[in-house]
Amino acid sequence: MWSFIKNREPNIHMKRLFEPFLSYRHFRTRAVDRQNTSSTGLYGFDHLKSPKGFQRFVDEAIERSSELIDYISGMPSSAEIIRAMDEISDTVCSVVDSAELCRQTHPARGFVEEANKASMKINVYLHFLNTNHTLYNAVKKAEQDGHLLTEEARRAALHLRIDFEKGGIHLPSGKLDRVNQLNMDAHKLCREYGENIINDPGYVDIFPASRIPRQIQHLLKPIYRLTSGVSKESLGSYEDEQEEVFRIMTEPRTLFSVLQLTPDEQVRKMAYLKGNSVPHANHEVLDKLINSRHELAQIMGCKSYAEFVMQLNMASSPEVVVSFLLEMSNMVKEKADEEFNTIRNLKRDVCGQRCVDLEPWDEAYYTTMMKSSAYSLDSAVVASYFSLPQCIEGLKLLVKSLFGARFDSVPMAPGESWHPDVLKMCIHHPEEGDLGFLYLDLFSRKGKYPGCATFAIKGGRKISETEYQLPVMALVFNFSRSHDSSIVRLNHGELETLFHEFGHALHALLSRTDYQHFAGTRVALDFAETPSNLFEYYARDYRVLKKFARHYSTGEVIPEKLVKSLNGARDMFAATELQRQIFYSLVDQTLFGEQLSVPRDTNSIVAHLKRQHSNEKHVEGTHMHIRFSHFLTYGAGYYSYLYAKCFAATIWKKLCQEDPLSPTTGTLLRTKLLQYGGAKEPADLLTDLVGDGIIRYHNGGIVPDVTSCLEEMKLLDDKNRHIGK
């Protein structure tokens, strides 16, 4: 799949064939291993001992790829063509992935700048590869001559050929040139969109500081302003004459905490309005991207970009997706309306009848209040059972119980890490040996990628009958270190996020595909989030939590009553949250769906869909779509989260719920799902894992059976039951 699931590299088509993973035997660099104690470079690559090493890293990748192109041009056997194609992908994408991870996480400016240069240079070469007719003709020969012996090899040939053609290689030269330019433009626009979000997060200054709750003050930046009416010349004492002000940087993580925990409605309103109106520059960027992607789709003979990107997805067409989304929207509407009225009534009780409407900046605050009241939840008490070291023990528990393997920290060689906080972990099976390596970059710091994501460094692939290239991944988080505690403690939502990303990592670390083209998460987009959603259940099950969640100071096991309260609170407004995800998915489908003859106003589209499929008011001047990067990185694929939610609910109910930590359960998950990556059709993997009742065929595509998901959320009544199947 793409380089990382929660924040994909937006340059989908330029990298479609040669997507990012590191090579085992490429150009004399040493692979990551657990025994290496001599000095090395980033991620175990000797070239990356210094920033300038990225230059040689790129050059040798191009040299090795050129050798492989020469070999393929001689038209060897079909099996060797596909094997060599896979090595080209593996070799070139080693640079792409290592450069991307470095760009997003390295604290040294020199490394970041050289990684940027490497990224630009290798992307030029990717353009050459993806338009290379020698490679395309060889792949077509391999697909057509019928001599590929394995299902995975035949599938690889098919996917490679389709991916070439999605890049326009089969078009006349004029159209191909235009497709290449549009892909280049889209890549630049996606990067510009992301950079604008980082460079213009928006902020509001709040004073006096007492308006900000103490428990979130560590997330904000304290600044000082002159007390009104006092000039610099008249200041007698710095401390006496200055007033502390808190600056709220309205990036999503901080904004959510402010909206959730701040009693002062005006503070919430200011933060919401600012956070949903920046960066202004992205209006033009998004409009250009929509137009560019639409023109690309039309050149390729498709009605829309949504149709273009769904060719290898389970859904197969935008019509199938939209039908599924509208069906779900109708299912949840009545319950979502009830929940909205409940929240609005609470606000009226608290504020009096002068508060007529529930505003968008109110929902998180009052739902948090209701959850805490109904279940007597104290966020500090909850977090006391989820110290980060104990949460890592939870990951170890999953690996041991389900897969009979160890997940332990291993030493890094000098130069291998990019920050002192980074951990290196290894999954080791007593009979099979090392299965893969995982870096954990856990804490927030200036200049680091701001979200949570899984980065691929190296994909697994078969080298020979006796050698297998082990996968290497990195999980990146931004957990906060509180000023008043040396022990980092997570809230329950952060624990779920940790387990979610670990699900992606396990998908990669446990896959055993012949080709890295199908390694781990390199699957159909609307299947990719399934393992990660499944592992979120493990963060909510008391039978799992009681084995690792202990009070950071007393060692007390987390009480079962507290876990029930957490899960009860989580489910209180399930319909509202599901409705929100449906709304996001419909916006995504509409932005990249069929275009009208006249230019469309994206602001009007979002406002219209919000009124149709959400109870939340649309506030003029707010534009959530200008910093919702999933609309770019998924591009008509955001519905995948809802697909995964439904698939995971069915797998949990049918396979895991009775005994979630059973080795039998783990064996089934590994041997019927995780180990195949993208080497088999997702629908076949799902039905082989749990049997009938997990997918439905609809208008030529596949949609999830929603029964288990809606039952779990207590949304399946007799009226909805017959359309859930």
- For the annotated catalytic residues, the residue numbers are 501
Evaluate whether 24 touches 458 at the Cβ level (below 8 Å): yes
In Å, what is the CA distance from 28 to each residue of 56, 69, 218, 632?
11, 19, 46, 36
Q: Please state the φ and ψ torsions of residue 525, each to the nearest 5 degrees.
A: -55, -40
Q: Partners of 456 in the beta sheet?
A: 473
Instruction: For the beta carbon of residue 133, count every other beta carbon within 10 angstroms.
Output: 10
Closest CA to 627 of 185, 11, 196, 5: 196
CB neighbours (10 Å) of residue 484? Answer: 6
Q: Which two tokens stand for residue 524?
A: 């159909």
Angle between helices 282-299 and 602-613 (to 10 degrees): 90
What size, in residues, is the chain? 725
Distance CA 41, CA 53 (A): 9
Three-state secondary-structure class, residue 528: coil
Structure tokens at 550: 């202990």
| DSSP per residue, 433-471 | EEEEEEEEEEE--TTS-SS-EEEEEE--EE-SSS-EEPP
**Residue 233 neighbours by CB under 8 Å, 6+ apart:** none
Pick from 224, 312, 216: which is nearest to 525 by CA?
312
Cα–Cα dist 357/642, whole Å:
30
Whole-Å CA distances, 410 to 407, 474, 509: 9, 14, 16
Asked if 226 and 241 count as a contact pair (C-beta separation under 8 A), the reply is yes
Question: Residue 316 is inside which H or E element, if any?
Answer: none
